[in-house]
Each structure stands twice: as structure tokens, then as C-alpha cells.
Amino acid sequence: MASIELNKICKSFGHVEVLKDIDLSLEKGEFIVFVGPSGCGKSTLLRLIAGLEDISGGDLMIDGERVNNVLPAKRGISMVFQSYALYPHMTVYENMAFGLEQAKLDKSEADKRIREAAEMLQITPYLERKPRQLSGGQRQRVAIGRAITRQPRIFLFDEPLSNLDAALRVDTRIEIAALHKRMAGVTMIYVTHDQVEAMTLADRIVVLNAGRVEQVGTPMELYMKPASRFVAEFIGSPR
């Protein structure tokens, strides 16, 4: 059974159709990267999967269940945003605890999860700080840590590295790859417009162009057999 299945997914904002007949089947535990130019619909597709936007047409299935009308909190999904989306008035610990309180998780279990995630991401020394007292890289680790504590079956990343400087981007990318290995069976979808990130992280890449899927394949398949000039230029295939 597929982890996530998109059947003829469409999305319009008013009269503007931004996603057109998206068909995709993602396996459990896969690391999928959505790439494509700015404005092609990557974030919108991610937000539809997370339940943060309504679907205009088609069916979205998670673990075989149709979830078109299932609330975001009930989908078993954690999402990490480019902007971190931390609460500025809360400490790191409180930021990580907030979603768990909402989910009525037992306090000691929540504490255990927070401390484990903090250790994994090396943010234990910052648990009592406010987000503004952290660097961009540390803030993004907190956002990733918060996502981990929810023990999702699906992890979504929307350009998580774009606000970081070059060296931190490499470090954090390596950490995300390690996280995927560690969280066996968790499906990850990672949005980027950076070819290097896509080629190094992905089990399979989905190339989007103007709201449609151009090609789906492993990094090597796309590199060696691009289906169009668009894919070739995007991936940097030899000509």
C-alpha cells in the first residue's frame, strides 16, 4: 500500500488553476523531493497534503484512507517551514511542548520526547532560550525537533535551508539525511529549487512545471534520461 497517493489532484485559487491533474504514488519510507521553478506549485502541493489548503479536485489518500476532509492534526503529518514558524514568546522547550499539549500527551512522555529530539539535534543547551536568542541554523533545528516529537508518519519540508548560509546549509542537509535513516518507515517530502539538494537527498525526484508533473524518477534516471528539455536544464544533464 502506498504511503501517499494523489489521484488527479487539482487546485485553483479563484479562476487561477495552480495544480493540474497531479497523479503520484509515494512509498512508505521514501525520501521524495519536489523540485521546480518558483511559482510552479510546490508549496501549494505540500500544503494540500498537510491539509492546510482545501483540495479543488481529485483524491488524496494516506495509508489507503481518503483524507480530503480530514483535519491537519489528524493526518499524522509534521511540517517544517522555511521561516521556522516558532512562537517568539515561548522558550524552545515550550515551542516543542505546545503541539504535544494540544494532543493531550502525558507530560512525562512529552518531556521524554522533547529531550530525545533535543539531544539528537544538539539543541539541549538552548531549551530555555527564546527563538530570538538563537541563530537561524539553531532555530531550524528547533523546528525540526518540534516536528520529530510529534512522531509523524509523514514529514514535509518546505525549503528548510533557504534562509541559512552556505556552510550551514550543507550541515543541515546532512542532518536531514541522517534523520531520514533514523526514522525508518517515515515518508519524507522535501521541497527545494536547489538541484544539489534534490540530487543528494532524494530516493525519487518529482519535477514540477507550471502546476503539472514533468517527470518522476531517481536522480540518476532524471540525469541520464530527462523527459524534456525543461528537466534536462533543471537537473543539469549533459547534452
Nearest approach in angstroms of CB 13 to ligand ADP is 3
Closer Cβ to ligand ADP, 46 or 134, answer by number: 46
Nearest approach in angstroms of CB 16 to ligand ADP is 6
Strand partners, 62: 4, 65
Nearest approach in angstroms of CB 34 to Mg ion is 9
Q: Which three cell numbers stand for residue 181?
A: 535513516
CA 112 to chain centre: 24
Binding region for Mg ion (CB under 5 A) out of 37-45, 118-126, 134-142, 146-154? 37-45
The three-class DSSP label of residue 161 is coil
Binding region for Mg ion (CB under 5 A) out of 38-46, 63-71, 73-81, 229-237? 38-46
Q: Which does 149 bind (CB under 5 to 8 A by kind): Mg ion, ligand ADP, none?
A: none
Residues within window 29-58 making contact with ligand ADP, judged by CB under 6 A: 36, 38-44
140 is a site residue for Mg ion (CB under 5 A): no
CA 133 to chain centre: 25
The string of DSSP letters for 170-213 reads HHHHHHHHHHHHHSTT-EEEEEES-HHHHHHH-SEEEEEETTEE
Query: What residues have CB less than 8 Å from 13, skipping those under 6 apart?
Result: none
43 is a site residue for Mg ion (CB under 5 A): yes
Nearest approach in angstroms of CB 124 to ligand ADP is 33
**Separation between Cα atoms, residue 68 and residue 61, nearest integer Å:** 8
Nearest approach in angstroms of CB 27 to ligand ADP is 23
For cell 524518477, name the residue: 217
Q: Is 73 left (phi over 0), alpha (psi -120 to 50) or beta?
A: alpha
Closer Cβ to Mg ion, 43 or 138, answer by number: 43
Closer Cβ to ligand ADP, 52 or 179, answer by number: 52
- Report the C-alpha dihedral over residues 179, 197, 139, 3, rounded to 10 degrees: -50
CA 235 to chain centre: 20
Closer Cβ to ligand ADP, 40 or 121, answer by number: 40
Binding region for Mg ion (CB under 5 A) out of 8-16, 42-50, 198-206, 221-229? 42-50
Residues within window 6-25 making contact with ligand ADP, judged by CB under 6 A: 13, 18
149 is a site residue for Mg ion (CB under 5 A): no
Amino acid (one-letter) located at 219: P
46 closest CA partner among 155, 146, 152, 149: 155
Question: What is the binding site for Mg ion (CB under 5 A)?
Answer: 43
Question: What is the binding site for ligand ADP (CB under 6 A)?
Answer: 13, 18, 36, 38-44
